[in-house]
Copies of this chain bind each other. A is one copy, B any other.
Amino acid sequence: MPHRALANLQNLYRIFTVPEAPDSTLGAIDKAITGDVAGFLQNHIVAVERPLEEIEASFSTVTIPEEPTYVSDYTEFVKENLVAQSVHTAAPGFVGHMTSAIPYFMLPLTRLMTALNQNTVKVETSKAFTPMERQVLAMLHHLIYRCPEEFYPPWIHNSQSALGAFCSGGTIANITALWLARNRLFAPQGTFNGIAQEGLLRSLRHHGLDGIAILVSERGHYSLGKAADLLGIGRDQLVRVKTAANNRIDLLALREVCGQLADQNIKPLALVGIAGTTETGNVDPLEQMADVAAELGCHFHVDAAWGGPTLFSEQHRHLLAGIERADSVTIDAHKQLYVPMGAGMVIFKDPTAVSAIEHHAAYILRHGSKDLGSHTLEGSRPGKALLVHAGLSIIGRKGYELLINLGIERAKTFADLIKQHPDFELTSEPELNILTYRYCPAAVQQALATACPEEQSKMNALLDQICQLLQKIQREAGKTFVSRTRLRTDRYRDEITVLRSVLANPLTTNEILHTVLQEQIEIVRQPEIMALLDQL
């Protein structure tokens, strides 16, 4: 081998075997994170607000570099162009999305998980991670369904069954649940080999149906639309039922829709209840929905991606009453289980239901094997269940209860602040820890109350513009952050733009919530917004 190539080869071995020196830039960043998690993320990373277009310029070369780069040089690049330009999702004033500070122990454990680099698709590359993941799914099953402890031993580590499926997030969890529901509806029967084998067309023909539908309120997560598309059902058959008070599904409207579907020879495949809507944090009447699902003889899925952990709270778990009647439940670990991004779960009430989506291969996932991959939508996967296991063990039920209670309390406090302020309008009452509101000067609120629908629409259109601008200016200032969405409320005919706040970060104080509103009050004094206000 020529000398030059040998030198390269030795360098190559180095990067696989020799760690960064403690005094290298990467070593220093690593140490800073280890030494001062909260401080590092809240102060050290000063996100200078640069326009996105400018940041894009640093990421525009398309040719892969020919020559290797020193880790130290690369780290300098990362520090300047990535870390400094990242969003402080952990900052206590970042209350606009479903992000939070995460417990510090998640960092070394993530590193451990990465170093072990297990692949949970099969036991041969995961070993202890397989039973651990199964335990985590059993723990969540127990949290939701509260089956007696003697229910679990035959199922928990049984290769023929699964109490749930671990996945990269709530979207895959929801898709998995509906995939399972669809395949159970069209299970093998006589000469019909089932939908997994024969496809949707022959399944509908076999059952003499003109279609299948998924029912959910208009607050359903957008992943359900993706599922309807992906599963071949079509978004037209994702029937979005209107909501009644407090963003909950209107049960009368639901029954009406069911009648219409029956007239069209369309069978409801699944009814989806929401435990914590993404936009407003409200919970559907799960108990009554379970009744409807039972009447329809269809799968009942509960999307508790956000609200699931409310079950930890003795005080608030009643809000989710009826969830124990769901055939499947989605819970996101990277939301209110405080696990880093990329971990979700779907839990199945019946441990044998999973056979509807089971699959095998010759080199892995063999029949009878304990390989988790035989019933997950994903294939190769990291051992993220470790982080859920760690959270449940270290924080404990009571710790999570405290976190949940804190968030709901904080949301009520914030709602009170908004209601007390004459120039803000609360647009959805917090039931869990999410609320929406908008800036709407007292005089305009009065005018709206008596205006005719046409006048209301005009005023709301202006208020929408103000809301949008306000949110943008606040985000760009980078001190605090709320998000925005579009919402139909009880008060107006129009869908309106509202500000949205999610209160899941335990480090968010009441003072910070004061600051959020104070900042908004100051922003609306800017000429751009004043000009719009003048038109009201």
Contact = CB atoms under 8 A, between A and B. Distances in A.
Nearest to A143: B64
Given A99-B119, A365-B222, A380 B232 contact: no
A195 interface: yes
B126 A87 contact: yes
Contacts of A485: 362-363
A111 B33 contact: yes
B169 A357 contact: no
A18 B104 CA distance: 7
Interface stretch (A89-97, A247-255, A285-293, A447-455): A89-97
Contacts of A119: 89, 97, 99, 341
B380 A235 contact: no
Interface string A361-376: 1111100001000000
A267 to B, nearest CB: 12
A483 to B, nearest CB: 6
**How many copies of this chain sit in the oligomeric assembly?**
2
Given A81-B128, A222-B365, A506 B30 contact: no
A257 interface: no
B82 A129 contact: yes
B394 A102 contact: no
A86 B116 contact: yes
Nearest to A15: B103
A62 interface: yes
Contact of A29 (B108, B223, B394, B487): B108
Interface stretch (A319-327, A397-405, A419-427, A519-527): A397-405
Given A18-B104, A363-B278, A127 B232 contact: no
B134 A59 contact: yes
Interface stretch (A36-44, A347-355, A510-518): A36-44
A228 B234 CA distance: 16
Nearest to A108: B30
B394 A71 contact: yes
A379 B134 CA distance: 24
A47 B128 CA distance: 10
A348 B202 CA distance: 31
Contact of A125 (B68, B69, B99, B486): B99
A365 to B, nearest CB: 7
A418 interface: no
B234 A211 contact: no
A52 B360 contact: no
Interface string A47-68: 1000011011011111111111
Interface stretch (A148-156, A294-302, A437-445, A528-536): A148-156
Contact of A199 (B41, B233, B402, B483): B233
A492 interface: no
Contacts of A223: 379
Contact of A8 (B125, B378, B399): B399
A100 to B, nearest CB: 8
Contacts of A378: 168-169, 171-172
Given A58-B131, A403-B12, A380 B341 contact: yes
11 contacts: A11-B399, A63-B142, A63-B149, A99-B125, A110-B114, A124-B481, A193-B236, A200-B233, A278-B363, A332-B380, A334-B380
Given A168-B378, A171-B379, 7 more contacts: A12-B402, A60-B131, A64-B397, A97-B119, A168-B342, A198-B234, A226-B377
Interface pairs A-B: 7 shortest CB-CB = A232-B232, A199-B234, A363-B485, A85-B128, A200-B232, A171-B379, A59-B135
